[in-house]
Amino acid sequence: MRLIGKRDIVAAILIALVAGAAFTSPPLQTLQGLSLDILTALRWKLVGDRRDPATSPVVVVAIDGETYETPPFKGSPTQTWTREIGRVLGSITEGGAKVIGFDVIFPSSIEQSEIPFGDTSFGNRVKGFDRDYLIALRKLSDSGKLVLGEILSNDHPDRPDRAQQLAVKNNIRALNVHTDADDVIRRMPLSFSIAGQPMPAMAVELTARALAAKPETGPTGVTNLSGYAIPGPVPNTLTLNFRGMGRDIPAYSFADLRACVEKGDAEFFRRAFDGKIVLLGSILNFDDRKLTSMRLAGGYDGTPGSRCAPPAPAGAAQQARNAVAGVFVHATVVRNLLEHDAITELGFPLRAILTIAFAAIIAAAACLLAPTGAAITWLGLTVAYAAVAVGTFTHAIALPLTEPVLAGLAALALMIGYRFVIADREERFLRKSFAFYLAPEVIDGMVASGKMPVLGGEMRNITMFFSDLSGFSSIAEKMTPSELVALMNDYLSAMTDIIESHGGYVDKYIGDSIVAMFGAPADDPDHARNAVAAALQCRDRLEELNESHPAFRGRGLAHRIGLNSGEAVVGNIGSRRRFNYTVMSDTVNLASRLEGANKYFGTVIMASEMTVDQSRNAYTWRELDMVRVQGRDEPIRVYEPLADVNQETQEQGTRAAAYAEGLACWRARDFAQAAALFESAARDDPPSRYFARRARALATNPPPGEWTPVNTLEGK
């Protein structure tokens, strides 16, 4: 444990305030919802729900897959189900149900069908089909025991058809839900403004009728229903408490209830529905599925209710799923209201205070302890706080969870960063001491391990970059030592900045030459592409320096760059007392040879076919020749990068096409045609000029029959 001073205390306080404010700020509002999701899942996994579904004051009549597969519904459009729905509703009401709500909407009637049928429409043929259903709706509505549902929308409202509206008069309520920014339902609206007047939502209306009470909203915005002040962080909303994850609500298959009506078992309806609030809704896999705060642990489409007639079909066992049928969202609201069990969320001030306090404890631990000890403290405090949060959640009080935990993690990181930047002098000394001699990645490993670098290497796939100033010796002879050093420093600095900006590592400077590698020490799957990009930028940068820099102007500096990709040994190589992070292999030697090969063709950049293959079609290339360099028997194809892919100029494209045609003639031993093609572009293209001379010479003195189109380069 380290000693702390006033500066550390101030830093810990500031870090806690910043972290706490950040994670409770409006842009991260979704964290509050995520806390509800996690608490719901943890409570279910750790505590469960011991309530018997049979005691639920609300039940669901489910239009399920069984209904669609059972006669007379099988193969029939839902508009033809209305008679049977009316019969089942009548039996449910006679069984003692307090009130019935529809979470299904029948926006049209089969009687409205305009499909031709004989000499009239099908609707006219079945006129009066819905009469019994409408009579049942009217009877239930007049007794105050029926509420139909609708979807409010400015664009596409969804309401029952006109005949149903007339039958139930004003007994229609909204089924709209409230979704958070992440499209998850965690809270439900209590009322909606219709024609300037507040109208209770479906679940609130059903509950109010069952309690024979009316919801009242006070001046503070809190809604009161039969003495229950409904909690909600947002006015006119209720935070859902999925205590039973949907399994606390019985669900009766509509197909079974219809069979029960046929059977005439009135006693079953009394046992199932006496004193209950009933919701009719669809629980099909593809219809009206809702993401709720049960999504992490998985919710259920109710608990299957007792059966009246046929046994449940095989394979009907339920599984937890992240999206539940929407009817169970409304049923949960009803149960929360009846049992005074809606979630109470803390307001912004208390959430911010808890979050800042948690972050302050972690910041203090990170200030006092080593990073590992501070991380263990954060983990332990997180587990303890989560246990407390789950405990309070069992009593329908939601403490913020993700905000304090993440704020604590941020405070941990910030305090460790503060210590690193302000306090860890020794580490900075190591970095400063070795920065000019070792790669940053090597220094990182040394600091992390606490050990000095040692000899050793590994095989890596890399791209080597060799550059050299052409004709520099003659230029250097005309300069004073101070002018030469200043010029070289400016040149090497400019090129090094470009190389490092593309992820390259400068291995060494050899006079005016630069040896660099891409793909080590830092791993880079795009090392070939980055090396080519660096080479092109170095070429352009030297042109700029020659035009604008006083030390370069008038000297006509030019350089050559060779690129090659392949396997190489990289690591700390040298003697036991003195070594460098460097590279060795034939890949390195070939890159060096290609740098020198530029002088034959008059090019600035030459790359091997391996680099071209690994650059992933990022550039437009011109194949120069197939060459055999000194010290290597196997010939390789060499290329010149022209520009980024599809970015070459028209002149470059025309010249490259003529060059490619000439190269094809050359390889076909048509030297006269090759010479003509190369000469057409030779005036301002050094590679064409070089090949034109060679082609003209062979056209005059043809080679023997065993000749191969491989250019053997004698020099380095």
Name which residue leads in pLDDT, 669 or 315: 669
Residue range 476-491: average pLDDT? 86
3-state secondary structure of 694: helix
pLDDT for the residue numbered 481: 86
Q: What is the pLDDT of residue 438?
A: 54
User: What CA–CA distances, in Å, run from 462 to 309, 613, 615?
Assistant: 75, 13, 12
Q: Which residues contact 444 (CB under 8 A, 6 or more apart)?
A: none
How far apart are alpha carbons 716 and 649 in whole angstroms?
A: 32
What number is the average pLDDT over the span 450-456? 53
Q: Which two tokens stand for residue 613?
A: 């293959």
Predicted local distance difference test score (pLDDT) of residue 369: 87
Between 118-122, 236-240, 315-319, 566-570, the lowest mean confidence (pLDDT) is in: 315-319
What mean pLDDT comes out for the span 4-10? Answer: 74
**E-assigned strand segments in 86-194:** 99-102, 116-117, 120-121, 146-150, 172-174, 178-179, 185-189, 191-194
- 99-108, 149-158, 276-285, 557-566: least confident range: 149-158
Quick one: pLDDT at residue 220?
Answer: 82
H-only helix segments in 369-439: 371-393, 402-418, 425-434
Closest CA to 283 of 253, 240, 255: 253
The pLDDT-based confidence of 385 (bands split at 50, 70, 90) is: very high
pLDDT of 448 above 60:
no
Question: Regarding beta strands 397-398 and 344-345, do their DSSP bridges make them parallel or antiparallel, or are they unpaired?
Answer: parallel
Q: What DSSP string runs through 635-688? A: -EEEEEEEEETT---HHHHHHHHHHHHHHHHHHTT-HHHHHHHHHHHTTS-HHH
Q: Are 218 and 236 in contact (CB under 8 A)?
A: no
- Share above pLDDT 70 across residues of the chain, in percent, rounded to a whole number: 93
pLDDT, residue 430, reads 58
Closest CA to 300 of 66, 33, 60: 60
**Percent of the chain with pLDDT strictly greater than 90:** 58
With bands split at pLDDT 50, 70 and 90, how would you rate the model's confidence at 52? Answer: very high
Q: From the CB of residue 689, how many other CB atoms can be counted at a distance below 10 Å? A: 16
Mean pLDDT is highest, among 394-408, 474-488, 499-513, 696-710, for 394-408
Question: Looking up tokens 């101070």, which residue turns up?
Answer: 482
Q: For residue 263, is pLDDT > 70?
A: yes
For tokens 């009470």, what's the residue? 213
pLDDT reported for residue 445: 56
Q: Which residues contact 322 (CB under 8 A, 6 or more apart)?
A: 291, 294, 295, 296, 298, 299
Q: Are 672 and 701 in contact (CB under 8 A)?
A: no
What pLDDT sits at residue 446?
52
Average pLDDT over residues 8-33: 89
* pLDDT of 627 strictly over 80: yes
Give the dihedral of Cα atoms 354, 358, 359, 362; nearest 10 deg: 170
pLDDT tier at 433, thresholds 50, 70, 90: low
Write the pLDDT tens digit of every residue in 323-356.
Answer: 999 999 999 999 999 999 999 999 889 999 999 9
| Three-state SS at 477 | coil
Angle between helices 30-46 and 402-418 (to 10 degrees): 110
pLDDT greater at residue 113 or residue 620: 620
Q: What is the mean pLDDT of residues 271-300?
A: 91
Q: Is the pLDDT of residue 457 over 80?
A: no
Please enumerate in sequence order all residues whose Cβ is within 8 A of that of 8, keeping only pairs 6 or more positions apart, or say none.
Answer: 367
The pLDDT assigned to 386 comes to: 95
Query: For residue 425, is pLDDT > 70?
Result: no
pLDDT tops 80 at residue 714? no
Q: Does position 24 have pLDDT exceeding 60, yes or no?
A: yes
Q: Are 661 and 642 in contact (CB under 8 A)?
A: no
Which candidate, 200, 185, 191, places its Cα nearest to that of 237? 191
Q: How confident is the model at residue 564 (pLDDT cuts 50, 70, 90)?
A: very high
DSSP per residue, 34-52: HHHHHHHHHHHHHT-----
Contacts of 125 (CB under 8 A, 6+ apart): 117, 118
Distance CA 174, CA 202 (A): 6
What does the block give as tokens for 40? 């719901």
Tens of pLDDT, residues 171-209? 999 999 999 999 999 999 999 988 888 899 999 999 999
Q: What is the pLDDT of residues 310-325, one digit of tens each?
A: 777 765 567 888 899 9
683 pLDDT tier (thresholds 50, 70, 90): confident
Average pLDDT of span 21-46: 92
pLDDT above 60: residue 115: yes
Highest mean predicted confidence (pLDDT) among 455-469, 566-580, 660-674: 660-674
Higher-pLDDT residue of 574 and 368 is 368
Residue 680 has pLDDT above 70, yes or no: yes
> From residue 596, how far is each of 112, 316, 513, 561, 684 by CA, in Å?
88, 77, 11, 8, 21
Report the C-alpha gap between 179 and 187 in whole angstroms.
7
